[in-house]
Amino acid sequence: MTEQVDNSVFSIERQENGIAHLVMDVKGDTMNTLKGEFGEQITAILKELKDDSGITGIVVTSGKPDSFVAGADINMLASCQTAEEATTLSRQGQMVFDQMENFPKPIVAAINGACLGGGLELALACHTRICSDNPKTALGVPEVQLGLLPGGGGTQRLPKLVGIQKALDMMLTGKQLRAKQALKAGLVDDVVPNSILVETAEKVALKGKVKRKPLKRSLMDKVLEGNAFGRKVVFDQATKSVLGKTKGNYPAPLKIIDCVRVGAERSPAMGYQVEADHFGHLVMTPESEQLRNLFFATTDMKKEDGVEGIKPEEVTKAAVLGGGLMGGGIAFVTATKAKVPVRVKDIAHNGINAALKYSYDILNKKVKRRFMRHSEMQKQMAAITGTLDYSGFKDSDIVVEAVFEDLSLKQKMVADVEANCSEKTIFASNTSSLPIGQIAANAERPENVIGLHYFSPVDKMPLAEIIAHEKSSDQTISTTVAFAKKQGKTPIVVQDKAGFFVNRILAPYMNEAALILLEGEPIEKVDKALVKFGFPVGPMQLLDEVGIDVGAKIGPILKAELGDRFTTPDAFGRLIDDGRLGKKANKGFYLYGKAAKKGKKQVDESIYQLLGITPAGKMSEDDIAKRCVYMMLNEAVRCLDEGIVRNARDGDIGSIFGIGFPPFLGGPYRYIDEVGATNIVSQLNQWANQYGDRYKPCDALVAMAENGKTCYDA
C-alpha cells in the first residue's frame, strides 16, 4: 500500500515487515532538490510514521533512477531580501533534520547516485547510511563553490562522523567522495550493489537503532582532534591554507572553519546557531551572488542546442588527427567522458603511442588509487585505436584535427578527410589562431567544417570554443556543441575572427603585463598583483606555462587582423632568441629543473639584464592589476559589440573557464556592470592621456557609459 502526501513529492510505502519506505520524487525534475516548502511536509510525514505502531523503521530512498538528492534548490535564495530571511531558511532546515536525528525509530538512508549539499545533510540526519556501488554515486557538500556553507547542520554533523580534518577538507574544497571513499572515511556504513540496496537498508532498519561504532582514527588524528591545543593547530593551519589559496577573496571558507571551531570548542548548539547566522550573511554577499549566477548560467547552457531549434546528430564514432599532447587529450575525453570510440591518426608510431600513453597514465593513476577497476580501465583503453593511414575513418561522424598551426597543412587535412570519410563527416579544427574560413577555403563541403578549440590540458580545462565560419551549417554547429558537452566540456559558440574570443581578450591583458614589466616592475610583483586580484596564476607565469613562443606567434596574427593595439613588445623577441620558451624548455621568466629550489617558485633574475631593465617596483599592486584587467575589459566590450560572443553570459563563462577570470567577480561583463561603464571609461581616458592611445575606450564602451547601459542589457 502506498500513500501519497501533498503534491506527491514524498510518498510512504508500507512494507509487510514493518518497514516504511519514505520515497522522495520531485515530479517533472530530473533530480531531487530540497525546497523550503518541503519542511512542513516532512514534519507531517514524520509525525504520521511516529504515531503508526505498525512501523518499526524507515528507509529513506529516491524515486529517481541515478540520483538521491542533488542538494537544496538554489532558486529559493534569490527571494531572500535580507540576511535574516536566509538565516531563517537555514534554521528551518536544521529543525527538520533535527527531528529526523532524534526520531525514536531507526531511519536508514539508501543512497544511489548524487547525494550532495542538502541531500547529504539529510542523509547525515539519518541514523545509518547505506550507499550503492553505482559509479554515479557521489557524496559531498559543494556549497563553498556557490560562496555558501552547508546550512542544514552539515558543519556540525559531518565532523562528528568523519573527523574535523576530513570534514574541513570536504567542505572547503567541495570535493565529492565515491562509494568506497565514503565508506573508508566513515561517511557511510556499508556499500552494496544497487540491486540489493533497499533490501540491505531494510535489514539494517529491522535491527533497531544501533549504537554507531566510533570512527577508527590514526594516532595523529587523535592527538590533533582530541584536545583544544591540537584542534587549534588544525584550525590555524586550515585558515592559513585558505588565505594562501583565496587571498581573502572568498568569505565562505573562513565562515566554514568558524562554524566547525565553535561546534567543537564551545557547543554543538552554538555551532548550529553560528552556522545559520553565517549562512544568512553569505547568501547576501556579492561573491555568492556572482557564483550563483555562474551556476545558473552553466545549468541553462546545458539545456541549449548549439543553434536554437536544430537538434544535434548523434556522434557514435570519432577520429583525431595528430597524436600529440592536444590530440592525446582529445582522444582521452572522447573515449572516457563521451563514451565514443575514437581512432587516432598520426604520421608515426611514436605519435600513436604518445596518444595512448596520455590516456593510460591518467586511467592507471585512477586504478592505483582505487577509483576505478582495472577491467574498466581496459574497456576504456580499448575504445582508443591508432592508425598511420585513414583506415577506419570512413564511418566517423566527426574528425577533430589537432596538427601543427600551419594553414596549408590544415587545408590538406580537410581534403584528406573529405576523400576518406562520408559526406556528412564533420571536420573540426582545434586551432587557436587560424581563421576557420581560411581552413575551409578549398573544401568541397565547407558546411561541414568548424572550429573546436580546446584548452590545455584537455582532460582538465572545462571550456571549448566552437568557431563557426560563414558557411558552417546550423546542423554542424549543433552537433559539434553536443559532442563537446558529451566530452565534459562547457562549449561557447564564437564568431570566426582572429583570436576568436578567449585569446583575443587575453592578448591585451598579457601585453599590458609585459609593458608594466618593461617599465621596471618585478616579475613576481606583477604576478602577485593579478593573483591577489583573483586569477589562478599571474600573466608572467601563464606565459611560461603556455609557451613564450606560442604567445609570440599569436601576436602578429592578431595585429594584422585587428590593429596596432595588439602589438607585442619588441624586447620579447630577445627571449625567443635566448631560447626562453618557458617551462617546456626549462627556461623562462622563472627557474625550472635543477636551477629551481623545491617547493618555491623563483624568478630567473638574468632575464632583467636580457631585457635591459632594472626592476624598481614603483607601482602599487592595485594599479598593476587594474591596468591589465581594464585592457581585457575594453576588448571584451568590443567582442560583445562585434558579436564575437553571442551574449554577455557566454563571454563570462568563456572567460572564467578559459582563462581563469575570477569567478567571484562573475566574469568580465558582470564586473563591468558592477564597476560601471562610466568609471571604466573615465579611468581609460586618464591612462590614454598618460600613456598613449592603446588605453582609449572603445566606442561601444563609451556608448554604454553615455546611455547608462550595461553589458547584460545588450
184 with 255, same domain: the answer is yes
634 with 518, same domain: the answer is yes
Query: Does a structural domain hold residue 304?
Result: no
Mean pLDDT value of segment 657-685: 97
Whole domain around residue 215: which residue ranges? 2-283
pLDDT value, residue 620: 97
Q: Give Cα 598 distance to the centre of its chain.
A: 29
347 with 365, same domain: the answer is yes
508 with 452, same domain: the answer is no
116 with 264, same domain: the answer is yes
Q: Are the CB atoms for 700 and 650 separated by under 8 Å? A: no
pLDDT value, residue 714: 65
Query: Does a structural domain hold residue 298?
Result: no
pLDDT value, residue 694: 92
361-399 tens-digit pLDDT: 999 999 998 778 899 999 999 999 999 999 999 999 999
Of the two residues 341 and 370, the one the predictor is more confident about is 341
491 with 508, same domain: the answer is no
346-367 tens-digit pLDDT: 999 999 999 999 999 999 999 9
User: What percentage of the chain exceeds 90 in pLDDT?
Assistant: 85
> Considering the chain, what is the average pLDDT of its residues?
94
514 with 657, same domain: the answer is yes
Q: How confident is the model at residue 32 (pLDDT cuts 50, 70, 90)?
A: very high
H or E element at residue 635: helix 621-642
Cell numbers standing for residue 344: 587516432
Q: How far apart are CA 122 and CA 120, in angstroms?
A: 5
Write the DSSP assignment of 577-617 as a string of letters. Answer: HTT--BGGGTBSSBB-GGGSPTT---B-THHHHHHT-----
Angle at which helix 164-173 crosses helix 228-246, to 10 degrees, equals 20
CATH code, 526: 1.10.1040.50
Q: Are the CB atoms for 399 and 427 separated by under 8 Å? A: yes
637 with 668, same domain: the answer is yes
Q: How confident is the model at residue 512 (pLDDT cuts 50, 70, 90)?
A: very high
Query: Does a structural domain hold residue 586?
Result: yes
Q: How far apart are CA 394 and CA 319, in angstroms?
A: 10
601 with 483, same domain: the answer is no
Positive or negative: CA dihedral 112, 116, 120, 122: negative
Q: How far apart are CA 279 and CA 288, in angstroms?
A: 11
- Catalytic site residue 465? yes
Query: Does a structural domain hold residue 309?
Result: no
- The 3-state DSSP class for residue 364 equals helix
Q: How many domains does the chain have?
A: 3
325 with 214, same domain: the answer is no
Query: Does a structural domain hold residue 184?
Result: yes
**Is the whole-model pTM more than 0.85?**
yes
272-314 tens-digit pLDDT: 999 999 999 999 999 999 999 999 999 999 999 999 999 999 9
168 with 265, same domain: the answer is yes
361 with 464, same domain: the answer is yes
Q: Identify the CA nearest to 517 among candidates 661, 660, 624.
A: 624
Q: How far apart are CA 515 and CA 570, in angstroms?
A: 10
Strands 463-468 and 490-495: parallel
Catalytic one of 465, 521, 524, 635:
465
Query: Does a structural domain hold residue 270?
Result: yes
CATH code, 110: 3.90.226.10
Q: Are the CB atoms for 227 and 164 separated by under 8 Å? A: no
Query: Does a structural domain hold residue 296?
Result: no
